[in-house]
Every structure is written in C-alpha cells, then in structure tokens.
Homo-oligomer: A and B are copies of this chain.
Amino acid sequence: MTQNIYDQDNFFAGYSRLRRSQEGLAGAPEWASLQAMLPDMTDKRVLDLGCGFGWFCRWAREHHGAAEVLGIDVSEKMLARARVTTSDPAIGYARGDMETLTLARDSYDLVYSSLAFHYIADLARLFGEIHASLAPGGAFVFSVEHPLYTAPSEPGWTESGGRKTWPLDSYLKEGPRRTDWLAKDVLKYHRSLSTYLNTLLATGFTLRYIEEWGPTDAQLAANPALAEERDRPTFLLVSARR
C-alpha cells in the first residue's frame, strides 16, 4: 500500500500552496515539454494515474476533445477537490492505489502520469497493467522525479569555493528514500534511469523519446532560480508506445 502522504493534513496544505497546485499545468515549468510529447487526444480515451486535483483530466477533455477521461488517485482529499471542479459526465475520478491497481484491458489510447511513479515500489507490475490497459499503438507518457534528484543519501546543494554542486552518491543503490519535503519522512523509491527504461522495454513498450528536463533560455530569464536544473535535473519525462 502506498504511503499516501497527500492525505496527511500538513503535506496536503503545503502541496496546495505550490505554484503547480495554484496555477495548474502552466504552473509547472516542465509542462510545455511534457505537453509536446502527448499524442492528439481528439475522441480518445485517456487515463491519468495520480491525477491529483484533476488539472490534466479537465485540460484533456475541455481543450483537446478527449472522448472520456478517467483520473485515478490514492488521495481522498485530492479527489474531493478534483470532483467539485467539473460536472462533465465524460470526466470520472476514482480512488486507486497504483501499488495494487488493476486496469481494464485494451481500454485507453493514452495513459498519462505526472510525478507519481516514484512513490511506487513495484513498478514492473504497474507498467504491465498499463501496457495491458492500452489499445495497440496506444501512448504512455509520464514524468517522474529524476533519478539524480532521488539518488543521494543526503540530498541538498552544497557550496564550496563559490561552486554549487549536487552531492551525488548511491545512484545504483535502488530502493526506498525517506526525505523531508512538505512533511517529515516522505517515502519515495529511487531507481536508476536505465531501470525505468529497461522496465518499459521488458514490458513490451517501444521507447519514443526521453527528456531530462531543463529550462529554456526564456524560462531562465523569467526565473533565474531554474539555473540549478541545468546542473542537476529534477524531472525525467518519457514517451513510449504499446
């Protein structure tokens, strides 16, 4: 069972204050890149795993003509907020734990997930479910926290001699990582970039494109703090096809 940190009051309150929670998709700096990896969604069936407040579900339906959209999340609090933002019967929300979830076969044209899989211990099982839930040729597009972000035993930029570096260690030591972000003792699972990709390939997916996200020059000019993303990316974006 997933830790479901999002239903802890202090985490939920903190998460709700983030730009990406307040402003939705446009508040996430990596969104433009992730969006560029999406297929045409007109009249397509879309599944969003870890849908949170439902920003993507509504966007897919309202702006891109998806036929039906299902958002699944483990957090009751997030689903409650997602549900009050729409009355469209083609958008559905359901509670589910990706650690044990089973999905209907050959039922989706796109499975999407943003920054959720690093909470999951058994990725191979989940990728197998996703593969089987897609129609042949269906798209699988997701982001996760980059392995360089999750790897270190003691994450956090360090400075010496005017040079800021990221103290990498434990990159190939996969498994749980407990960090303090918005709440104490948040449980994530670190895996290497090759494990993400090899798990996809072993499941039967064809790899299309990978992006280790960094800011554009325009984004950097508007938000100089993003410079550190070019030193150590936070987001890994992947596009695959069944």
In the complex where A153-B163, A167-B165 touch, is A194 in contact with B172 (Cβ < 8 A)? no
Q: Would you give the 0/1 interface string for A204-241, flagging 1 where the beta carbon is closer than 8 Å to chain B? A: 00111111101000000000000001111100000000
Q: Does A12 sit within 8 A of B, measured CB to CB? A: no
28 A-B residue pairs with Cβ-Cβ distance under 8 Å, sorted by A, are: A153-B163, A154-B163, A158-B160, A158-B165, A158-B167, A163-B167, A163-B169, A164-B169, A165-B168, A168-B168, A169-B231, A170-B230, A170-B231, A171-B212, A171-B230, A171-B231, A171-B232, A172-B212, A172-B214, A172-B229, A172-B230, A173-B230, A194-B212, A197-B197, A197-B210, A198-B210, A201-B208, A206-B206
A102 at the interface (CB under 8 A from B): no
At the interface, yes or no: A31 with Cβ under 8 Å from chain B?
A: no
Additional A-B contact list (9), CB under 8 Å, known A169-B232, A170-B230:
A148-B148, A148-B168, A153-B163, A168-B168, A168-B232, A173-B231, A197-B207, A197-B210, A198-B210
Q: How many copies of this kind of chain does the complex include? A: 2
Nearest CB in chain B to that of A231: its residue: B169
Q: Are A212 and B193 in contact (CB under 8 A)?
A: yes
A contacts, CB < 8 Å to B = 148, 152-154, 158, 160, 163-173, 192-194, 197-198, 201, 206-212, 214, 229-233
B198, A209: Cβ atoms under 8 Å? yes
Q: Tell me the smallest distance from the CB of A127 to a CB of chain B, in Å.
A: 15
List residues of chain B with CB within 8 A of the CB of A232.
Answer: 168-169, 171
A207 touches B214 (CB 8 A): no
**B194-A210 in contact (CB<8A):** yes
Question: Is B197 touching A171 in the complex (CB atoms < 8 A)?
Answer: no
Are A165 and B148 also in contact (CB < 8 A) when A172-B230, A192-B212, A207-B201 are? no
Chain B residues with CB under 8 Å of A212's CB are 171-172, 192-194
A209 to B, closest residue via Cβ: B198
Chain B residues within 8 Å of A169, by CB: 163-166, 231-232
**CA of A210 to CA of B193 in the docked complex: distance in angstroms?**
9
CB distance from A30 to the nearest CB of B (A): 13
